[in-house]
Amino acid sequence: MKKLMLFMPDSADDIDAELTALGQLGVIHISPLQPAKDESIERVEARIKQLHKAIAVLNRYDEEQKSVAEDDEITDYSKLERGAVFLMEKVLDAENHRQELENIKRNLAIDIEWAENWGNITLKDINELNEKGIWIKLYLLEDKELKKVSDRNDIQVVGKLNDLNQVILLTKDADEKLLELEELPFPQSELANAKEILNATNKDLERNRQLLLQLHAQKAVLQNGLNERLRRFDVRNVQFGGLTVNKHVRFWKGFIPVEHIDKFIETADEHHWGYVIEDPLPEEMEEVPTLVRTPKWAQRVQPVMDFMGLVPGYKEMDVSRVFMVFFTFFTGILVGDAGYGLVFLLITFWVHRKKKFAKQIEFGLIYTLSASIMFWGVLTGTYFGSEAIAEFPILRSLKVESLASFGGDNLIVQKIMFLIGAVHLTVGHLQVAWKFNYSVRAIAQLGWVAIIWGLYLIVNQMVLGIEAPAIMLWLFVGGALLVALFSKPGTSFFKGMLTSIGNLPLSIINGFSDIISYIRLYAVGLSTVLMAASFNQMAIGDGITTVVSGIGAVLVLILGHGLNMILAAMAVLVHGVRLNMLEYAGHAEVEFSGNEYKPFNLKDNKQ
């Protein structure tokens, strides 16, 4: 990655065209030299929000068929200057009118319901009584409340409504209340008038719907207008993120991958841009963006890394391959139920089908994780936490007895978890060794590999009671010697060795705790199985003898296993990501301190 200083003339017309050409090139990662602030940015941003809103309104009519008269005419907004703005205003006005009509309709429905419950009235008569100092107040009282006022001669019970008594209070005091209860309001319209207005409102709503259906045919005009405003927004942000020189020249700082330099120079010379391309200074290295080139098969894990904000630093390794492999494996163990994996797979397929099998990387990830869950579930004989299902002849033949969730050897399973941890951490150190393959630091990483396997043996001895072989001591001695001798090249030999030896005890303790940490795979996977079995016992442990007990059992199974699947998915995010992001990344010397390479690219601004 090279640093680029770019210079352009700062006239309003030229800068827009020149930055558009730069954005269409789409290879420069711009580092703003100042916050991009200008009134034009605010205007464009406001227009983008309006266009998004107008498009969302028309999207509601995607599945509807219009039925308008052939002689109905509507403006072709694609032929008008600023047609997208005029169309947007027309759509938003129609939507505002629709909302007003819906409010009127709701109020009229309330008035009609009032008349059905209390009877038809004449509002003119009510107002005349009020002018004469007589007030009619309406209440709904429970039976116990009615008993408290039953001896009063100024109230009248006129009916029942949902087990409540409809009571009328006649009074000459406009402020009087009955038992401090809330008074019911009179309708705003009389019954006949309300029905008449409601009929007219429904006709207005239908005309409004037909108008929006007509406008829907020109939704592409709005989309084109939105794309143009998105272009302007991106261009303005880049423009005002640069600095000016004597109000005639504006310049930017950015970064460009080496392979795109020739393409950039060709475009820059064609447009007469000024530029300086050089290596970033040491103090600028934290600013250099990271361009990660991940193999297609490993790109499936990118949604997880994006969700966690994990971007390796510019000088750090791309760990997406290892992350993908081990995250997939961890997910299988953490959930560990083939039945759950099948449910995840079917739900993903259903959603994918609803999306018309759109090519989205997230679906590929979930399919892969679901397959991993099913694979581990088959090996351990786990199907919705039911031991009985696992005993079906075909399923039993696929089960590995020593790994089985029911009746398996827990000691072997825990040993495998520690083995996975040792392998995972070893891969991290071997990657660092490969990174420094022209340096003696690679030998120090081989020393760490030896220490990791010595720690694996001592963990087995201390946690599982498996006696460590004699080679364990030599792994520690040899590994520590290599680490002490080759960890700090380029400094004074004895000073570097003493520093490495001083750091070694704490590093070994951290390595020990890192390997121990992989027992979480066993513990969380076991808890998922036990919870599933517990819900099964709650639902059908005592048998199903009645229809009610059958319905209850089904509810317990659905809700219980649904909750368990949600908890298992959360465990994947917590523990599966953690083992990659902390334990492994720490040994691979990856701090995820980078910022992603995001070129100024107008080719991708369509939304």
Residue 207: predicted pLDDT? 93
Q: Which domain range does residue 535 map to?
A: 317-590
Q: Could you tell me if residue 490 is inside a domain?
A: yes
Q: Could you tell me if residue 492 is inside a domain?
A: yes
Question: CB burial class (10 A; 0-12, 13-18, 19+) of residue 323?
Answer: buried
Q: Could you tell me if residue 27 is inside a domain?
A: no
- Cβ–Cβ < 8 Å for 316, 591: yes
CA distance 325 to 331: 10
CA distance 12 to 487: 56
The tens digit of pLDDT for each residue in 118-163 reads 988 888 888 999 899 999 999 999 999 999 988 888 899 999 998 8
Which band of pLDDT confidence, cut at 50, 70 and 90, is reported for residue 607?
A: very low
CA distance 474 to 482: 12
DSSP states along 233-274: HHHHHHHHHSEEETTTEEEEEEEE-GGGHHHHHHHHHHHT-E
Q: Could you tell me if residue 415 is inside a domain?
A: yes
Q: Could you tell me if residue 364 is inside a domain?
A: yes
Q: Which among 165, 185, 205 is the end of a domain?
A: 185
**Percent helix / strand / coil, the chain, rounded to 5:** 65, 10, 25
For residue 283, give both structure tokens: 């103090």
CA distance 61 to 94: 13
Residue 69: predicted pLDDT? 47
CA distance 379 to 257: 46
Residue 70: predicted pLDDT? 46
Q: Which among 130, 163, 185 is the end of a domain?
A: 185
Q: Helix axis angle, 83-118 relative to 39-59, nearest 10°?
A: 50
Which band of pLDDT confidence, cut at 50, 70 and 90, is reported for residue 376?
A: very high
- Cβ–Cβ < 8 Å for 344, 331: no
Residue 178: predicted pLDDT? 86
Average pLDDT, the chain: 90
Are residues 353 and 500 both part of a single domain?
yes
For residue 234, what are the CA distances in angstroms to 20, 293, 304, 604?
Answer: 9, 25, 27, 11
CA distance 265 to 234: 22
Q: Which among 147, 169, 185 is the end of a domain?
A: 185
The tens digit of pLDDT for each residue in 196-236 reads 999 999 999 999 999 999 999 999 999 999 999 999 999 99
Residue 490: predicted pLDDT? 63
* Among 57, 40, 43, residue whose Cα is nearest residue 222: 57
Q: Could you tell me if residue 203 is inside a domain?
A: no
496 has pLDDT over 80: no
Residues 6+ apart with CB under 8 A from 331: 369, 372, 373, 572, 576
Q: Could you tell me if residue 542 is inside a domain?
A: yes
Q: How many domains does the chain have?
A: 2
For residue 572, give both structure tokens: 């994947």
The tens digit of pLDDT for each residue in 440-491 reads 889 999 999 999 999 999 999 999 999 999 999 999 999 999 988 888 776 6
Q: Could you tell me if residue 245 is inside a domain?
A: no
Residue 65: predicted pLDDT? 62
CA distance 69 to 323: 60
194 has pLDDT over 70: yes
- Cβ–Cβ < 8 Å for 108, 194: yes
Taking the model in full, what pTM does it have?
Answer: 0.77
